[in-house]
Amino acid sequence: MTFSEENYLKSIYSLQKDSPKGVSTTILAQYLESKPASVTEMIKKLDEKGLVLYQPYQGVLLNKNGELVALKVIRKHRLWETFLAKKLDFSWDEIHDVAEQLEHIKSDKLIKELDRFLGFPTHDPHGDPIPDEQGNVIKVEKKQVSQLIPGETGTCVGVNDTSSSFLQFLDQQNIKLGAVIEIVHLQDFDKSMTVRIDGRELLLSQIATENIYVKL
Amino acid sequence: MTFSEENYLKSIYSLQKDSPKGVSTTILAQYLESKPASVTEMIKKLDEKGLVLYQPYQGVLLNKNGELVALKVIRKHRLWETFLAKKLDFSWDEIHDVAEQLEHIKSDKLIKELDRFLGFPTHDPHGDPIPDEQGNVIKVEKKQVSQLIPGETGTCVGVNDTSSSFLQFLDQQNIKLGAVIEIVHLQDFDKSMTVRIDGRELLLSQIATENIYVKL
DNA sequence: AAATAAGTTTAGGCAAACCTAAAAAATATA
DNA sequence: TATATTTTTTAGGTTTGCCTAAACTTATTT
C-alpha cells in the first residue's frame, strides 16, 4: 500500500458520506488537489486491487476491504493528532499537516504502543472518534450549532472544517472542545447567531455555526 | 529533499569515515541495498544540487551543505529512536526500522517539540550522540572492547553493529548501555575474550568485542 | 607492459503517480 | 429531440528512482 493509495482511500471514505451513490472523479480530484484524469487512473488501480467499487462514469465507493484500510489510516491519523496535541503542545491548527505525514508510517507495534502511551483515547483533538483496531467507530449524535434554536445549549464536541484559518478563529474566540454554547439570538436575515460562551457573548456567522458540532 | 536523497546523504555520512578519500559506488550500493548504476545516477543529481563532491570513478564525499542535511536527518533518526525506546517500550533491536521511516517526516516544530518532550537527550539508545540543531556532534572517545587488555575495565557506551541479531544477543547477555565490563582473559588463538559483567563471567567472540564500545 | 579482472558509467527500460489535450459519454438546455 | 455543456475517460508525456546489459576506466596480475 503506497502513501498515495492510502490517501485516495481516506479521501473516498470522507467524501462518500455526502455522495452515497458514488464519489465523482471531479470531486475527488478537487479534494486531493489533483486532476480528474489522475484520479481515474488511480481508482482503476484500486478497483483492480479489490479495494473499491468503480463503475466508469458513475463514481467510486469503498468496498469492505477498502473501508477497513481507510479506517486504519484514519485511526493512525487521529492517534498522531492526539499525540501532537497532548504531548507536544501543538495547537489545533498545527496538527493536521504533520499527522498527514505520520499516518503513513508502517508499524503495527508503533500504533499499538502509541495508543497505550496516550491512554487509549477515544476521540482526537478535533472531537472526531478514533476507530479501534478492527475499524469500529463510535458514533456520537451531534448537531451543528446552526440547528439549535435560541435558548438551547450544547457542548462543543467537534468541528467540520479543519482549515487552519477556521481553527485559529476558534482559538481566538476561546471555543474549545467541551465549551458550553448557548444560543442567545438568531439574526434572521443572514442566519448569524449571538451565542454565550464562558459568560461572554459573541456573534457567529452562518458559516461558523454550520462548522461547529455540539451535543445536547 | 526526497526520502531517497536523504537516505543517500545519511549513508554517505556513515561511510565516509572509513573511506575518507571517497565512498565508492559499489560500497554505497551495498549499503543501500541498491545497484551501482542507480547510485551513480543519484550522486550525479546530488552533485548538481551542491550537496556532495563527486568525481567520476573516484567516489563521492559530502560537502558542508550535504553534511548539514545528513546531520539533521541523523538528529531526527536518533531523537525518534530515543522516543521509541523511552516512551513506547520498544526494545533495542525493534527501534531501527521504524526510526528509518520517522526520520523523513518534515516539520521543524515537530522535532523541536520532540526534543523538549524527551528532555533534550544527548545520546540515543545505542549510545550514539544526537547532533544539535546546528549539526554539532559531541565526540566521545570510545574504544572497542577488543582494544582493552586483561585487567582493564570500561563502561559500555555504544555499539557498532545495529543488526537485530546482534542487539538481541546483547539483550540476552544483559549487556546494556552503562554496563561495566572487565576483561578477565584474552584467548590468544581466536582473540575471544572472557569478560565480567554484573559479577557474571561470559565469553565474547572477537566479532562481538569489536562491535561493543566502552569508555574507560 | 600487456592481459585480465574489478569497478564505474552510460544507454535504454520500467513502474508509480502525476500532467495536458483530445475524444467519448452523460447531463442539461433550447 | 437535437444541440450544447459538463464530466469523464483515453492517449500520450514527464519526473523520480530504480533496474539490466553493454561500454568504458582503473587496478591487478602475470
> CA B67 → CA A73, B1, B136, distances in Å?
34, 14, 11
Taking alpha carbons only, the member of B176, B75, B182 closest to residue B126 is B176
- Cα dihedral A119, A125, A127, A132 sign: negative
B151 pLDDT band (50/70/90 cuts)? Answer: very high
In angstroms, the separation between the Cα of residue B137 and the nearest Cα of chain A is 25
Does residue A143 reach within 7 angstroms of strand D, measured from its CB? no
Which pLDDT score is estimated for B166? 87
> Is residue B201 over pLDDT 90?
yes
**Has residue B141 got a pLDDT over 90?**
no
Residue type, B120: F
Provide the shortest C-alpha distance from residue B142 to chain A (in Å): 32
Taking the C-alpha atoms of residue A202 and residue A38, their distance in angstroms, rounded to an integer, is 44
Q: List, in sequence order, every residue forming a beta bridge with B62; answer none if it has no partner.
A: B52
For residue A123, the cross-strand partners are A129
Task: With beta carbons under 8 A apart, name residues in chain A contacting B89.
Answer: 113
Report the DSSP pairing between strands A153-159 and A212-215.
antiparallel
Residue A127's Cα: distance from chain center in Å?
9
Q: Report residue B94: phi and psi, to 5°.
A: -90, -15
List of protein residues whose beta carbon is under 7 A from strand C = A 2-5, 32-35, 37-38, 41-42, 45, 57; B 24-27, 36-37, 39-41, 44, 54, 56-57, 59
Is the pLDDT at A133 greater than 90? The verdict is yes
How would residue B164 be classed by pLDDT, with cut points 50, 70 and 90?
confident
Distance CA B205, CA B214 (A): 16
Confidence tier at B127 by pLDDT (50, 70, 90): confident
Least-confidence region, from A12-16, A161-165, B97-101: A161-165
Class level of CATH domain A143-215? mainly beta
CA–C1' span, A39 to C20, in Å?
14
Q: What is the pLDDT of residue A189?
A: 94
In the predicted structure, residue B54 carries a pLDDT above the cut 90: yes
- B191 pLDDT exceeds 90? yes
Confidence of residue B167 (pLDDT cuts 50, 70, 90): confident
Residues of B in contact with A113 (CB under 8 A): 88-90
Residue of B nearest to A84 (CA): B110
Q: What is the pLDDT of residues A156-188, one digit of tens each?
A: 988 888 888 888 888 888 888 888 999 999 999
Where in the sequence of chain A do the CATH 1.10.10.10 domains occur? 3-62, 77-131
Domain B77-131: CATH architecture, name and number where available = Orthogonal Bundle (1.10)
Q: Which residue of A has its CA nearest to B89?
A: A113
Of A87, A101, A105, the CB nearest to B98: A105
Separation CA B125–CA B144 (nearest Å):
18
Q: HSE of B188 in the Cβ direction (CA atoms, 13 Å)? A: 0
Mean pLDDT of A183-194: 94
Nearest to residue A46, comparing CAs of A16, A14, A6? A6
Q: What CATH topology corresponds to A3-62?
A: Arc Repressor Mutant, subunit A (1.10.10)
Phi and psi based region of residue B151 (left: phi greater than 0; alpha: psi -120 to 50; beta: remaining):
left
Give the residue-averaged pLDDT of B100-112.
97
What pLDDT does B163 receive? 83
Q: What is the mean pLDDT of chain A?
A: 94
> For A98-118, how does the pLDDT look when each residue is reduced to its tens digit (9 = 90+)?
999 999 999 999 999 999 999
